[in-house]
Structure 1
Amino acid sequence: MTPPVRVLLADDQALLRVSLATVLGADERIEVVGTVADGRAAVTAVQQRSVDVVLMDIRMPVLDGIAATAQVVRLSPRTRVLALTTFDLDELVLAALRAGASGYLTKDARPAVLIDAICDVAAGNSALAPAAAASLVEHVRRTAEPRPRAVAQLSPREREVFDLIAAGRSNGEIGAQLHLTQNTVKTHVRAVLTKLDLRDRVHVVIFAYENGLAGPPHPAG
């Protein structure tokens, strides 16, 4: 049996922490290992216990969620951060993604969506739906700070996979379009992340648009 995903909740609203802990704790795939009220406490908790995913509120006292995210991914590279926000994609969410978050959710997300997102992030994927890619890249275009990277390291097939990830395609869609098995797609995705030193799919999207390496996301289908 697959062990449950160990989740730390970081939010300055006590009622929300209790509600989230109750919802998540009711699912056998999740184990809530702690709750904290500020970013500094989140960083400390990650250093003191095994945490797979931090559900991180962006706006918190003492140390905000953006700074806390950067510290968490630096101190515990295996720990994933899922940003939590009151509003849909905004500049603070983008800052959290750039700091190392593997995705984001709004606080009104349905419990099933939240749980699936946590499990996806824990598995090394991202919690950025293809439909959100267009909004993300518009923010990136407005605030891009191009950074040279060795994209030339990618093989022709890896570059195709890179472009499709940047367009918001899922592994299933990439496999169907390129006529590849899911295992082969996963191998290429891992190669892209490794060669470009990127944390996950969300950061492929950000990197691609910061460096003018992809066009607008294609509609699925």
Structure 2
Amino acid sequence: MSTSLNLIVVEDDPRMRDRFARSFDTDGRIKVLAWASTAREALTALDTHRPDVLLVDLGLPDTSGIHVIEHGHRHHPRCDIMVVSVFGDERSVLASIEAGATGYLLKDDSEEDFVARIFELRAGGSPITPIIARRILQRFQSSTPEQSGPSQPLSEREQEVLNLLARGFAYQEIARLLDVSPHTVGTYVKRLYEKLQVHSRGEAVFEGQRMGLLQR
């Protein structure tokens, strides 16, 4: 597909904004009409521009991104809305879909995936990170309660690392905060991945949220 797309990106994390910018610059078919770091800025941008796609995080500093999704869906019915979030809990996903989002990705997807999924969304698809789609399907396919905790309990330090991962910190930053080496952080991450039976940061945060392991 060679058609260009106009986007509004709602994301307050500078590191994530840089990832988006790199992927869009590399591809060349996406033009960002406005960058917003708060819901208030996002609503102003939506009232100023006519985007093809709204890319929105849920964890904004002033209010939930759900309000941005609702506004975009109500006032820009031709705009497709994609959530890109670190959280993939059932409540957030369903609330986003009910508000008008038709795509939902976790932040640890690759930069190439972001561009491909945006065009997939605009072409009429509903891209959802596989682990989220699987959990949503399981919700409707079975009435059996989901596992309430990991097969092995996380240690106190593993729990600390999980919460820092959920907040978006890199290994080096976690090592500095916990006064350990990056190698030690990697060991903690490997152990908690094994206990949660996951293979990525996004999946770990998803399972941690579902099991009530994350601090609020």
* TM-score in terms of structure 2 length: 0.59
Residue 193 (structure 2) aligns with: none
Structure 1 runs, 4 residues or longer, greater than 2 Å off: 87-90, 128-134, 137-142
Q: Kindly indicate whether residue 166 of structure 2 is the aligned counterpart of residue 133 of structure 1.
A: no
What amino acid does structure 2 have at the position aligned with 1:59? G
Task: Provide the rounded CA distance (Å) in 2 between the counterparts of 1:130 and 1:21.
Answer: 24
Is the contact between residue 55 and residue 82 of structure 2 (CA under 8 Å) also seen in structure 1? yes
Residue 41 of structure 1 is matched in structure 2 by: 41
Please give the residue correspondences for 1:42-81 in structure 2 after superposition, counting only pairs within 5 Å.
Answer: 42-81=42-81
Amino acid at match of 2:103: G
Superposition RMSD in Å: 2.3
Unaligned 5+ segments in structure 1 are 143-221
Structure with larger Rg:
2
Q: Deviations over 1:27-86 (max 9, x none)?
A: 122222221101222122122112111110011122311111011110100111110111
Q: How does 1:63-142 map to 2 (within 5 A)?
A: 63-128=63-128, 132-139=132-139
Q: 1:198-221 deviations in whole A, cap 9, x for unaligned?
A: xxxxxxxxxxxxxxxxxxxxxxxx
Distance of 2:112 and 2:13 partners within structure 1: 21
Instruction: Tell me: CA distance 1:139–1:48, structure 2 relative to 1, closer, same or farther (3 Å).
Output: farther
Find the aligned partners of 1:98 and 1:141 in 2 and give their Cα distance: 20
For the residues of structure 2 that align with 1:134 and 1:19, how far apart are their CA atoms? Answer: 26
Count of aligned residue pairs for this structure pair: 142
- Per the normalisation by structure 1, the TM-score is 0.58
- The alpha-carbon distance between structure 1 residues 79 and 140, as it changes in their structure 2 partners (threshold 3 A), is farther
Gapped runs of 5+ residues in structure 2?
A: 143-216
Match of 2:202 in 1: none
- Displacement, 1:118? 0.5
What is the CA deviation profile of residues 176-205 of structure 1, one whole-angstrom value per residue up to 9, with x for unaligned ones? xxxxxxxxxxxxxxxxxxxxxxxxxxxxxx
Identity of aligned residues (%): 28
Greater shift in the superposed pair: 129-138 or 69-78: 129-138
- Aligned pairs (5 A) from 1:1-40: 2-40=2-40
Residue aligned with 1:26, SS: helix
